Structures are given as C-alpha cells and as structure tokens.
C-alpha cells in the first residue's frame, strides 16, 4: 500500500545558531542525514528526506517528506537526536520541537468513507487516496499516535472486508431429531402463567419461584454431571470491571455500544451535591444533567464474565504440576445493551450465566475442550432431551489478531451450540466452548515455571438460553419434560396468587 508523508516542524534550540554554527556546516549535516540517517532500515531508493530547512535565531525549520518505510515522524525524531549530538559540540541543546503541519496520504477504497478520526483535523478522500491533516505535538509523536492512526485505518479496512460475515461458521454435529411438544413463544406463556414479569429496567426480568427453580435445576445438572466430575472449584469473580481490565482483555477496542457503564461521584462532599438534592426536593424530578457533571466513569458492569478473574493471576508464575486449573463462577448477573435486539428471556440486557474457565498448556486446554464437548452432548441428550447442532466458529476479531491460521487448524476458536425454536423455526445459540490460546495469560502476564506457553479456555452457560431452548421445544408442562430432568426439578412451587 502506497503512503506519502509531509511534515513541517521547528526544532527549538537553547541558543542562537547564526552566531555559533555556519550555514555550510548545517548543510553538510543535513546532507549526511538525507544520505544515511533517514535511509536506515529502508530498501534502496526509499526512506525519508529533509526537503527544505532554514535557520532563524534559535529555531531550525524543517520540511520532511517520506514514504512508508521511514515515516516522517520517525524521521523527525531521528533528526532531533542527531541534531542534538551535532549542536552539542557547539554547546547548544535541543529544548523541544513544534509541529506546524503533518499531512499523510494513502491509497484508499472509494466506497469506504470516513467522517472523523482522533488527532485528525481534516479528512479528504479523492481519486483513490485518503488525505489526512493531523493535529499532533511532540508528545503525540513520542507516543506513536501517527502509527496508531494508520493501524486504526488498516483495522477499518479489514473490518470492511468482513462486514456482513462476522464469523466463519462450519457445521460439526447434529443431534438426533427429537419430538417437540410446544409451538408458542415460551416467554409469552411464562408471563401468562405468572412465572416471570418485566422488571423496571430494559431487558430485565423478575423471575418467580417456578422459573427460578428451573434455573437452579439447570445449575444442579451442570454441577453434578460436568463441573464436579471434572474437578472444578467455585470462585467469585467481580461484576464491576474497571477499564484497566478491559484494556488488557481487548474489550476496550469495541465494547462501547454494548456496555453498561459504571460511574462514581467525584466527591462525597454533601455541599458538592446540595444543588442536586435541592432540585429534586423542589421538582420531585431527578436532575440527570446536573448529576452527569458530578460523576466520572470508571468502567462497566460484567460483559464477558472471565476477564476480571485474570487479575487474580496477573503477574504470577505458577508451577507446571498444578495444571490444569479448572474454576467456575456463578455469583451474579452479566449485562449487555442489546439495542434493537431484545426478545423474551433469551435476548436481554441482564442475564444469568455460569462461567467456566480452564488453564493449562496447549495440549491440556485443547483436550479439555473436547472433554467438555462430550459432556455437554450427554447433558443435552439425556437431561434436556433437545434437538441441537454444533458449529465451529472463527470470530472476525481472531482474523484481525492474526489467529486465523490457528482457527483453521481448530486450535483457537469457538464451538457454538444452537437449538431450533419450533415457534419461529430459527436457531438460537445457547452454549459455547472457546479455546482462547495464549490471549489472556499473555495480556495479564501469567507464566509457567517451565517457560512453556500457557493457554486458556472458557465456556459460558447462559441459564436463560438453556431454559428458552428447553421450554420452546418441550413446553411448560412438566409431564412433557424428560424423566431425568423431572427427577431433579421436582414439583414447581406455587407461591403467588393475584386477584
């Protein structure tokens, strides 16, 4: 991909150059930079060049042009260091630099339009080129902001290629056909029977004794037939997730449209909040605008259940003999803002999940994923008696992270379990088993004593999804449920009656 860079900047010196350094000396120095310093690391005939320079008192004006091999901002930093050495012989130092103008042009697809980018004050798209005018300073260059902007554009280009095909899907297994005893939306029937009721929040339900008993039965089946036989131990993972965790887990790259945000007061000082309190007392209305100015965002509610767990392991070295590690969490709810996609108890904002995490070397993690798959098949067949299928999924983000090859080898990726909903004929994903490779151990700096690569996997059991699949195929009458499931669930409690 062709790129062109043009950068205008001034180096600020500690003394007047015209009184101590001759123009010919500076010209010779610039020539040296153009022929050696700014070509280093680039193919022959490529690199950067100081196209124009001038001296005015204590400032050196520079115009640098370059290709993608030695980008102009890198060239400027090199020149700054070399000028510092050169001028140091004359007892003059470099105090800083000021960026007057920085323009980047790169080949670009006509159909991929951009409106706004961080640190970019102007965007033009014309004749197959994208032209950016950057708003950056010395600190921005040192933080590699221009490189990150280019990486962002490459990500957008790659995302456009995958738009409409979020993930690769490959059928692996189909269960036997099973009888269906129901053809209605189970959520609507649960509402009619008084098992559930909409809560005050969006995408949120209050579960009565009957559906709660079903949830606890599903948990009991999971514990008795999968978690305990495999030697899993229960933990409690936090349900508030700070930004520092989401940055390491990778969710900070795109969680924003789906997160439930958490904010804390800037101070507990009652005087700071007195105006808000007084407004409510006078109007009996909560002054949201006034509140927003007095709080600060610190993270969000649990989105993917396992990232907060990794703080427990962060920075630790573990002995090989304790592998594999197997833990699970069922201590609270998860939250995702399902804009436009809310439906029943299976697609909602607040949901209940058992999160299963296992850690080991590569072979252990892959082997245990296979063992889990076999156990799930038994549970779905013998206890729920449902019709389902399994599919191998390569999420598009794995392609962006360079893991497509591992996914094609079925080493890193996800197996989704889907069940048909008779009332709609659609398939609902209700379970998964994911092998995440070294993603989490690497990001959270968890190491093995032997130095061998550490891998992990996770599997989320959504209780609402399991219940939806069961009730959609078998109905709400217990006499239609599998005998093994009935033996665990017992009699459904009847507690409430309303007149």
Annotation says 416 is catalytic: yes
Active site residue 355: yes
CB 419 within 8 A of CB 387: yes
Q: Which of the residues 25, 135, 219, 338 is marked catalytic? A: 338
CB crowding 110-139: b at 16 or more within 10 Å, else e: eeeeeeeeeebeeeeeeeeebebebebebe
Q: Which of 78, 79, 123 is nearest to 105 (CA)?
A: 123
CA distance 106 to 129: 6
φ/ψ of 371, rounded to 5, equals -65, -40
Of residues 67, 416, 418, 464, which has the active-site annotation?
416
Active site residue 429: yes
C-alpha dihedral over 342, 347, 353, 357, to 10 degrees? -110
Q: Which of 49, 185, 306, 330 is catalytic?
A: 306
Catalytic residue flag (residue 126):
no
Q: State yes or no: is 443 an active-site residue.
A: no
Please state the separation of Cα 156 from the chain's center in Å. Answer: 15
Annotated catalytic residue, options 67, 185, 346, 355: 355
Q: Which of 71, 330, 353, 465 is catalytic?
A: 465
Write down the catalytic residue from 13, 33, 49, 432: 432
Residue 276 near residue 292, CB atoms below 8 Å: no
Annotated catalytic residue within 330, 336, 385, 387: 336
Q: Percentages helix, strand, coil for the chain, rounded to the nearest 5?
A: 35, 30, 35
C-alpha–C-alpha distance, residues 333 and 321, integer Å: 33
Pairing assessment for the beta strands 233-235 and 325-329 based on DSSP bridges: parallel
CA 350 to CA 366: how far, in whole Å? Answer: 31
Q: Decide if 336 is catalytic.
A: yes
Catalytic residue among 135, 382, 429, 452: 429
Q: DSSP letters along 155-209, please?
A: HHHHHHHHTT--EEEEEEEEPPP------S-HHHHHHHTTSEEE-SSTT-EEE-H
Which among 347, 377, 389, 486 is annotated as catalytic? 347
Q: Is 144 a catalytic residue?
A: no
**Does the annotation mark 338 as catalytic?**
yes
CB-based contact 60:83 (threshold 8 Å): yes
d(CA 140, CA 404): 32
Does residue 465 have an active-site annotation? yes
How far, in Å, CA of 319 to CA of 101, rounded? 54
Residue 336 CB partners (closer than 8 Å, separation 6+): 258, 259, 260, 303, 349, 351
Q: Residue 440 and residue 250: Cα distance in Å, rounded?
A: 9
Instruction: Check if 458 is active-site.
Output: yes
Residues with catalytic roles: 306, 336, 338, 347, 355, 416, 429, 432, 458, 465
């Amino acid at each position: 991909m062709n790129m062109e860079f043009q950068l205008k900047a001034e180096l600020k010196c500690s003394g007047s150059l015209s009184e101590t350094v001759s123009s010919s000396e500076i010209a010779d120095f610039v020539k040296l930079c153009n022929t050696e310093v700014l070509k280093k690391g680039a193919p022959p005939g490529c690199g950067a060049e100081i196209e124009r320079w001038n001296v005015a008192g204590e400032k050196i004006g520079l115009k640098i042009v370059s290709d993608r091999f030695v980008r102009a901002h890198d060239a400027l930093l090199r020149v700054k260091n070399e000028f510092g050495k050169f001028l140091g012989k004359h007892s003059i130092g470099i105090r800083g630099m000021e960026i007057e103008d920085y323009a980047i042009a790169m080949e670009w697809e006509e159909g991929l339009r951009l409106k706004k980018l961080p640190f970019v004050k102007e965007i033009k798209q014309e004749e197959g080129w994208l032209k950016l005018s950057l708003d950056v300073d010395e600190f921005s260059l040192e933080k590699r902001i221009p490189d990150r902007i280019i990486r962002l554009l490459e990500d957008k280009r790659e995302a456009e290629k995958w738009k409409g095909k979020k993930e690769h899907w490959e059928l692996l297994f189909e269960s036997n056909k099973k009888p269906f005893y129901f053809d209605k939306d189970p959520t609507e029937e649960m509402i009619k029977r008084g098992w559930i009721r909409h809560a005050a929040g969006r995408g949120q339900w209050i579960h009565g004794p009957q559906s709660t008993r079903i949830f606890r039965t599903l948990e009991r089946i999971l514990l008795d037939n999968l978690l305990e036989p495999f030697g899993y131990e229960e933990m409690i993972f936090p349900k508030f997730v700070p930004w520092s965790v989401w940055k390491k887990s990778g969710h900070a790259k795109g969680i924003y449209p789906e997160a439930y945000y958490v904010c804390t007061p800037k101070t507990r000082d009652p005087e700071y909040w007195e105006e808000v309190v007084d407004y409510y007392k006078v109007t009996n209305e909560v002054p949201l605008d006034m509140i927003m100015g007095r709080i600060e965002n610190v993270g969000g509610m649990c989105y993917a259940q396992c990232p907060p767990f990794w703080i427990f392991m962060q920075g630790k070295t573990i002995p090989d003999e304790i592998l594999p590690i197997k833990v699970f969490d069922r201590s609270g709810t998860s939250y995702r803002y399902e804009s436009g996609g809310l439906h029943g108890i299976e697609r909602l904002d607040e949901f209940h999940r058992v999160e299963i995490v296992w850690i080991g070397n590569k072979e252990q993690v892959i082997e245990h994923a296979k063992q889990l798959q076999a156990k799930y098949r038994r549970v779905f067949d013998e206890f729920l008696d449902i019709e389902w299928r399994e599919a191998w999924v390569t999420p598009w983000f794995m392609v962006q992270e360079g893991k497509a090859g591992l996914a094609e080898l079925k080493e890193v990726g996800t197996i989704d379990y889907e069940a048909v909903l008779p009332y709609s004929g659609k398939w609902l994903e209700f379970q998964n088993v994911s092998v995440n490779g070294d993603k989490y151990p690497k990001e959270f700096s968890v190491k093995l004593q032997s130095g061998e690569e550490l891998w992990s996997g996770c599997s989320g059991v959504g209780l609402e999804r399991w219940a939806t699949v069961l009730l959609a195929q078998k109905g709400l009458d217990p006499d239609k449920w599998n005998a093994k499931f009935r033996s665990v669930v017992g009699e459904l409690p009847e507690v409430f009656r309303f007149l």
